[in-house]
Amino acid sequence: MSQPTKYKRILLKLSGEALAGPSGYNIDPAVLEQYSKEIRQVVDMGVQVAIVIGGGNIFRGVSGERSGIDRVQGDYMGMLATVINAMAIQSSLEKHGMFTRVMSAIKMEQVCEPYVRRRAVRHLEKGRVVIFGAGTGSPYFTTDTTASLRAIEIEADVVLKGTKVDGVYSADPMKDKTAERYTSISFQDVYEKKLNVMDLTAFTLCQENNLPIIVFNMNQQGSLLRVVRGDEDAGTLIH
């Protein structure tokens, strides 16, 4: 029997950069391994898990533009990068005994399914981990916006933003020793204090649709499980 959890269906947002580990580039097998173990713990509790992965470890449209690549072209390259990451996570999760599907916003039938909302929900109901690749399928958006959008579409209970820090701070905790962590904060306060949680499009989508966000440290062992159980100290809840 699985134990009770606060959230039944989650959308986990992971950045591409996090996948890269200390080097900042490519995919670190040790990170994949650790993330898979963390995700397995919540899947075992009966939680339905959808994942949106970034592509920053491989390519970002904005950086491409600085080196002379057309912005829209670069954004499509970034979206393809997220599919590479999605496939890497898929492979690792399956190695850890989970059933998975990658669904891409850009059709590529030989490697994964196209994104179809109803099918995504069906996969989740069957206990499969669904990984959304290729962002929103449109340039000028981010994978944070993808996370908010998909979470709303699949009626997730919460967006869990896995980061390198354990929540939202009053200032950058890496630079400012007096920075304090919020256990919970309203959308309005995040906005007024100009705290950096997500880009504004992603943030507003959540706010307007009453979809809570939790920022937590994905690199801390057991943290994802604690968040899903509803441990208030495990991250910062934005509501």
Q: Which residues bind ligand UDP (CB under 6 A)?
A: 15-17, 54-56, 60-62, 74-75, 78-79, 81-82, 135-136, 138-139, 141-143, 146
Q: Which are the contacts of 13, defined by CB distance < 8 A and separation ≥ 6? A: 51, 52, 53, 54, 143, 144, 147, 159, 160, 161, 162
Closest approach of Cβ 94 to ligand UDP, in Å?
22
d(CA 146, CA 140) in angstroms, rounded, equals 11
* Cβ-closest position to ligand UDP: 54
170 versus 217: smaller Cβ distance to ligand UDP: 217
Q: Measuring CA to CA, which residue among 160, 146, 154 is closest to residue 85? A: 146
41 versus 138: smaller Cβ distance to ligand UDP:
138
What CA–CA distance (Å, rounded) separates 185 from 226? 19
Residue 15 among known ligand-binding residues: yes
Closer of 10 and 18 to ligand UDP (Cβ): 18
Which amino acid is it at 86? Answer: A
Tokens of 140: 């000028």
Q: Least separation, in Å, of the C-beta of 205 and ligand UDP?
A: 12
Residue numbers in the known binding site for UMP are 55, 75, 136-143
